[in-house]
A = this chain, B = another copy of it.
Amino acid sequence: MDALNLRDRAASGASAVVALIEQGIADGTWGPGTKLPTERELEKRFNVSRNTLRKSLRVLEEQGKIVRHVGRGSFVTSEATVKATAGDQSLTSRIIGASPAEVMELRLMVEPQAAELAAGRATAADLHRMEECLAHAERAQDIPEFEHWDGMLHVAIIGAAKNGLLADVYDAINAIRNQPEWARLKVRSLTPARRAVYEEQHRRIVSALKDRDGDQARAALQEHLLQVRTNLLGS
């Protein structure tokens, strides 16, 4: 049946167009948040004049089912986003605003002690993973690749501490590494000389972990992070 051709039907008019668009929203043709076709497109699709179509859209807008913006288009209201904002806010999103100084301070609190725990808990697989990160980092051709394996090494150390909660928290903190400002800070601070220093410090950390020397591991990681903070924040 030619359900879209309203002009030939007895029940033509604005209210019929409203019903059709509502149906399209209900059956998923236009899902929440999606953009409706332009008015000039819908005008042709429903075979009504633009004024009639606009009247229908106005009804839907007043019902809160769509929102319209000049120059952008008309959009189906998204219940999902409304629902999302009502609930508890993800820590990750709150963390995004944290300053590099705050991040480094927290890392300095947590990571050295995690290394101390890891010295007593790391499995052979953990240590092997760290060695791989070391190798990859030293073979890295450019700074982003080095940063990647640097980050993975720290994650591996945290993971070796065998505390799932700690790993989750560190993951959340680590998400900041992907923030543009933070990344720019890292790249700018990473000179070849400093990279060599980092690689040496990394080796000493992993070496201490392999020796099951918790004190040494904690001290080496702390020294490393202090160096990173100095390079990063210039203090």
Interface residues of chain A, those whose CB is within 8 Å of chain B, are 32-33, 35, 61-65, 67-69, 72, 75-80, 83, 88-95, 97-99, 102-103, 105-106, 109-110, 113-114, 117, 140, 142, 144-145, 147-149, 151-152, 163-166, 168-169, 172-175, 177-180, 183-184, 187
Q: Name the residue on B nearest A70 (C-beta).
A: B184
Known contacts A102-B163, A164-B102; A148 and B32 CB within 8 A of each other = yes
Please report the C-alpha to C-alpha distance between residue A152 and residue B33 in the assembled complex, in whole angstroms.
13
Highest count of chain B CB atoms <10 Å: which of A61, A149, A169, A174: A169
Q: Name the residue on B nearest A184 (C-beta).
A: B69
Per assembly, the copies of the chain total 2
Q: Name the residue on B nearest A101 (C-beta).
A: B163
Highest count of chain B CB atoms <10 Å: which of A64, A102, A144: A144
- Cross-chain contact B144 with A67 (CB below 8 angstroms): yes
New contact pairs (10) apart from A64-B175, A98-B164, A169-B169, CB-CB < 8 Å: A63-B178, A64-B177, A67-B183, A77-B178, A79-B177, A90-B90, A98-B165, A99-B165, A103-B165, A105-B117
- Cross-chain contact A109 with B113 (CB below 8 angstroms): yes
How many Å from the CB of A94 to the closest CB on chain B?
5
* Residue in contact with A165 in the complex, picked from B33, B88, B173, CB distance below 8 Å: B173
- Cross-chain contact A92 with B88 (CB below 8 angstroms): yes
Q: Name the residue on B nearest A90 (C-beta).
A: B90
**27 contacts across the A-B interface (CB closer than 8 A):** A61-B180, A62-B180, A63-B178, A64-B177, A65-B178, A67-B187, A69-B184, A77-B144, A78-B144, A78-B147, A78-B151, A79-B174, A88-B90, A88-B92, A88-B93, A89-B90, A91-B92, A95-B169, A98-B164, A98-B168, A102-B163, A102-B166, A106-B169, A109-B114, A110-B110, A165-B173, A169-B173
- Cross-chain contact A178 with B79 (CB below 8 angstroms): yes
- Cross-chain contact A165 with B106 (CB below 8 angstroms): yes
In the assembled complex, which residues on chain B have CB atoms less than 8 Å from the CB atom of A110?
A: 106, 109-110
Please report the C-alpha to C-alpha distance between residue A94 and residue B165 in the assembled complex, in whole angstroms.
8
* Residue in contact with A91 in the complex, picked from B63, B80, B97, B168, CB distance below 8 Å: B168
- Cross-chain contact A172 with B79 (CB below 8 angstroms): no
Known contacts A77-B178, A91-B90, A92-B91; A166 and B109 CB within 8 A of each other = yes
